[in-house]
Structure 1
Amino acid sequence: MIDQNADVVIVGSGPTGSAYARIIRRDWPEARILMVEAGPQILPEIGGHLDNVLDLDKRAELEILAQGGDRSPRLSISKEEWEARRAGGFDASLLRRSGLFIANEGDDGDGLFAGFSAANVGGMGTKWSTGTPTPSQAERVPFIAADELDAALRVAEGLLGTHKDPRGPDPIAAAMRERLGAAFNPGRSPDRFVQPMPMAATPGPNGPRWHGTDVILGDLVKEPDTSFRILAETTCRRINHDNGRATGVVLARTGEDATWTLSAGTVIVACDALHTPQLLHASGIRPAALGRYINDHYIVSQIAELDTDVPMRAMSWIPATNELPFSVTIAPASLHTMPKSSELGGQPIGMGVFCPADIDEKNHVAFDDAKLDWRGLPAISIRWTQSEGDRERLEWAKQTALKVAEIIGRPAPGFATFVQPVGSSLHYQGTVRMGERDDGTSVCDRNSRVWGFDNLYVAGNGVIPTVTATNPTLYSVALATFGARQVAREGRQRQAA
């Protein structure tokens, strides 16, 4: 029997929803917390990372389950598509990645925007890259004091279990970073030097163990159901609210029509940058900025050739700065499924230059109330247009990719520099963005509380209001800690009263 009320209901079980649960439990030990997840639990470890499953066939099966209601497998990339990719053409492989879809399918020009739907216990925490770099100055929320955000980032590193170099020591990577540092470090502060990519992982003799939301939740999953519970394969259809206060949620078993209502002291919507605004829209909560300002960085991809007989294992990072707005990730490339030039003799090194995109109110998520998705919510589409500034920065980013390749060794023969469709990084944001004041350009305040509500919060990359060129999970978890502390503080006050 499911209790019909909870102190806190969290819709979504990904990294930020789990961070809310963990911080609320730390600061409010008596809170009754219920987490709602539309997808299934796919691993014995609640929220575990799929990359820890070493059987690749089994992992592929779990990848499909992780898509929730969208379980149609993607086709393998064809030889013709690989050849197009090598020539710098459209990266068709993106359409084959499990769960990836082109949100505005049919627009094959500059308005292409890739999106992703993950629905399983742990959300994207079961599938993310585990990269946890810190945001640059340009990426930081300007109305949150630097010392406050730095402290929140340290808390987020602890929640995620960040390790500064989980594949180190790696002398080949270290030597490469030294060469790159000679070119990029002058004028930078030490924290923005070329460095190993920090990752949410634990080193081990057989390679790192990758962290999912199992690490964030910790001992919460051992608590009795009356204290903490995850309702898997349960869809939130609506947030009930009255006069600026969320009163509860309407739930349904995923794929079923029958619903029930659960009362809540506080509601936190922590789906993702597409589905969080979707649920607010379906609930009649529609601030002017809801779903607008959708943004993501581009990825300029380049394969370089490193002349070495000793394999490089570690991932490296060139952080973005005010002077160079690109974050560059560098890691060994696996070409076992790709056509390979006979001229390629050294180790192939993959590179992604993360290039920021201009923020525009007109770029938005649209909802079709007449067409429902598998969750029973209004169907999503995306309207997005590339700016002239985007095109100029992309040319700069391509030159940066070639410069880095020359320092590493040389651009790999047979592989062109190419730009992935915006959104392909799955780091899209801005659709429930935070703001300094309620002036119609934001959805929530600096603590992620929805404007006009006492007890309704949003979480995830969607709250980030700035341009980014960095993996945002650490950043969005840090922002979640502000809201979580406020929820716990106000909950204790209500309890005392």
Structure 2
Amino acid sequence: MKAMAPQSTDVVIIGSGPTGSAYARIIRRDWPEARIVMVEAGPQILPEVGGHLDNVLDLAERAKLEILAQGGDRSPRMSISKEEWEARRAGGFDASLLRRSGLFIANEGDDGEGLFAGFSAANVGGMGTKWSAGTPTPSQAERVPFIPADELEAALRTAEGLLGVHKDPRGPDPVAVAMRERLGQQFNPGRTPDRFVQPMPMAATPGPNGPRWHGTDVILGNLVKEPEDTFRILADTTCRKVIHESGRATGVVLARTGTDETWTLSAGTVVVACDALHTPQLLHASGVRPKALGHYINDHYIVSQIAELDTDAPMQAMSWIPATNELPFSVTIAPASLHTMPKSADLSGQPIGMGVFCPADIDEKNHVAFDDSKLDWHGLPAISIRWTQSEGDRKRLEWAKQTALKVAEIIGRPAPGFATFVQPVGSSLHYQGTVRMGEKDDGTSVCDRNSRVWGFDNLYVAGNGVIPTVTATNPTLYSTALATFGARQIAAARRSL
């Protein structure tokens, strides 16, 4: 293994998800001769490097691949039972959420308010192989206030290009258009046109048989065709430590996943782009422990609602009610498949699923904890989450529930037999804040506006964890945009040598 492994590189990126891939692509654009190594703890599960699992049409085959992508726990999940759906319909806690491939409870809570859902997944492409592909634009209130507005807007447009965003990948859908018009009559007044009710922007390419969903294969582009001496992905490889001295990262300690044999890869720059749970975990294990590391963990809630649309014509497109300063919820509306659910005999129209993404208060005390005495499957300190719901969260959730019911009434009516349901926080898998950026190094952030870790010349972090603001909007476009600042800085520093 040691003879085959690279011994040095210009840039090493730990993690192969969307933001890590964005770093690689922008660095290549601005620094053509850079040697880049990407490290991924999981396997390559698809022929397309970083391809999206939803493009696998054979559902049995897709289920097998999802298990391979679960990280350390690769046991099959049980299907949802009738009793569990009955509990959900009655407004009870839906334990089936824990059976989502790779999802687990990441704290010690034992009730709905205290639960925080964690996620363990590892495969080439990271969450880019499994994500919803939704790429809505954050509202002004959600954006980093200390990055100039024009710079952030330009970065968002760059991110749209990297992800391959299409504004309406399902194309003309008369039923969806009519529904949006009704919703727009209620929600559009007072908004700017970019925040009107609209199709959900998606990272997808339209096709005659439906969209082709984009994973990190689209972000990486031709990088995967390069010789291994200029770009290489080390799959089934874990990073145990970032080596550093006097404010400079010099390399990383790597191991084949599941083994204890390690080797060192020297690097001019290190980018840690695992995710918002595992990036602070690796920094902690490496002795990089700024005060804010792992703290301020945040995620938006999802208030789920099933509505009934009274029409015989099918609707396929996904729609979006954007968050604004006045209404801080991002609402996603899409056809719902109820083939696995018991459903009321009173449900005669088309079922429509709705997720009202509800922001949660940011609190320094909410944090990721690390147990140095217990190692996980990466060989790193085990993760748990300490999180408490705020009074503001509870009030906002009541508002979100009323918004869900209001939207359902505009669509048609709330579907009979299905309660308005609040999923455990964390279920969206949009964790943020654990390596948050800040305007200055005052102990409340981990990195600067370019995602460079405070006190280091060449150590960067990436992913949703860098987002320091309260959000409701799906964050992938946002965090990919923020990643472009760091990637550009890395390339610019090299050019100045």
TM-score (norm 1): 0.99
Structure 1 position 107, deviation (Å): 2.5
Question: Aligned partner of 1:181: which letter?
Answer: G
CA contact (8 A) 2:112 2:424 kept: no
Structure 2: gaps (5+ residues): none
Query: Deviation per CA, 1:369-417, whole angstroms, max 9, x where unpaired?
Result: 0000000000000000000000000000000000000000000000010
Aligned equivalents of 2:268, 2:110: Cα separation in 1: 43
Structure 1 position 110, deviation (Å): 1.4
Query: Deviation per CA, 1:135-184, whole angstroms, max 9, x where unpaired?
Result: 01111000011111110000000000000000121000000000000000
Aligned equivalents of 2:50, 2:150: Cα separation in 1: 31
Aligned equivalents of 2:54, 2:112: Cα separation in 1: 34
Give the match for residue 358 of structure 1.
361
Aligned equivalents of 1:336, 1:80: Cα separation in 2: 15
Query: Deviation per CA, 1:47-89, whole angstroms, max 9, x where unpaired?
Result: 0000000000000000000112221222111111110001111
Give the match for residue 32 of structure 2.
29
Give the match for residue 465 of structure 1.
468
Give the match for residue 235 of structure 2.
232
Question: Aligned partner of 2:386: which letter?
Answer: R
Give the match for residue 115 of structure 1.
118
Give the match for residue 77 of structure 1.
80
Give the match for residue 375 of structure 2.
372
Question: Aligned partner of 1:53: which letter?
Answer: V
Structure 1 position 92, deviation (Å): 1.6
Question: Aligned partner of 2:464: which letter?
Answer: N
Name the SS of the counterpart of 1:296 in structure 2: coil
For residue 293 of structure 1, the aligned residue among 293, 296, 300 is 296
Give the match for residue 263 of structure 1.
266
CA contact (8 A) 2:107 2:116 kept: yes
CA contact (8 A) 1:318 1:327 kept: yes
Give the match for residue 414 of structure 1.
417
Give the match for residue 286 of structure 2.
283
Question: Aligned partner of 1:233: which letter?
Answer: D
Structure 1 position 491, deviation (Å): 1.6
Aligned equivalents of 2:6, 2:124: Cα separation in 1: 20
For residue 452 of structure 1, the aligned residue among 448, 451, 455 is 455
Aligned equivalents of 1:139, 1:59: Cα separation in 2: 35
CA contact (8 A) 1:11 1:37 kept: yes
Name the SS of the counterpart of 2:320 in structure 1: strand
Aligned equivalents of 1:398, 1:109: Cα separation in 2: 16
Aligned equivalents of 1:325, 1:94: Cα separation in 2: 25
Structure 1 position 318, deviation (Å): 0.1
Structure 1 position 95, deviation (Å): 1.1
Name the SS of the counterpart of 2:496 in structure 1: helix
Aligned equivalents of 1:294, 1:338: Cα separation in 2: 33
Aligned equivalents of 1:268, 1:304: Cα separation in 2: 44
Structure 1 position 35, deviation (Å): 0.2
CA contact (8 A) 1:6 1:263 kept: yes
Give the root-mean-square deviation of aligned CA atoms: 0.6
Aligned equivalents of 1:410, 1:154: Cα separation in 2: 37
Give the match for residue 141 of structure 1.
144
Give the match for residue 191 of structure 1.
194
State yes or no: 1:206 paired with 2:195: no
Structure 1 position 105, deviation (Å): 4.2
Query: Deviation per CA, 1:210-253, whole angstroms, max 9, x where unpaired?
Result: 00000000000000000000000000000000000000000000
Name the SS of the counterpart of 2:23 in structure 1: helix
Aligned equivalents of 2:274, 2:79: Cα separation in 1: 29
Query: Deviation per CA, 1:104-156, whole angstroms, max 9, x where unpaired?
Result: 14522411100111100000000000000000111100001111111000000
Superposed structure 1 runs of 4+ greater than 3 Å apart: none
Aligned equivalents of 2:114, 2:92: Cα separation in 1: 16
State yes or no: 1:245 paired with 2:248: yes
Aligned equivalents of 1:73, 1:307: Cα separation in 2: 37
State yes or no: 1:162 paired with 2:165: yes
Name the SS of the counterpart of 1:18 in structure 2: helix
Structure 1 position 2, deviation (Å): 2.2
Structure 1: gaps (5+ residues): none
Give the match for residue 57 of structure 2.
54
Structure 1 position 332, deviation (Å): 0.2
Aligned equivalents of 1:458, 1:107: Cα separation in 2: 32
Structure 1 position 91, deviation (Å): 1.8
- 1:306-455 to 2 correspondences below 5 Å: 306-455=309-458
Aligned equivalents of 2:302, 2:483: Cα separation in 1: 26
For residue 153 of structure 1, the aligned residue among 135, 144, 156 is 156
The alignment of Structure 1 onto Structure 2 pairs a total of residues equal to 494
TM-score (norm 2): 0.99
CA contact (8 A) 2:133 2:203 kept: yes
Query: Deviation per CA, 1:251-304, whole angstroms, max 9, x where unpaired?
Result: 000000010001000000000000000000000000000000000000000000
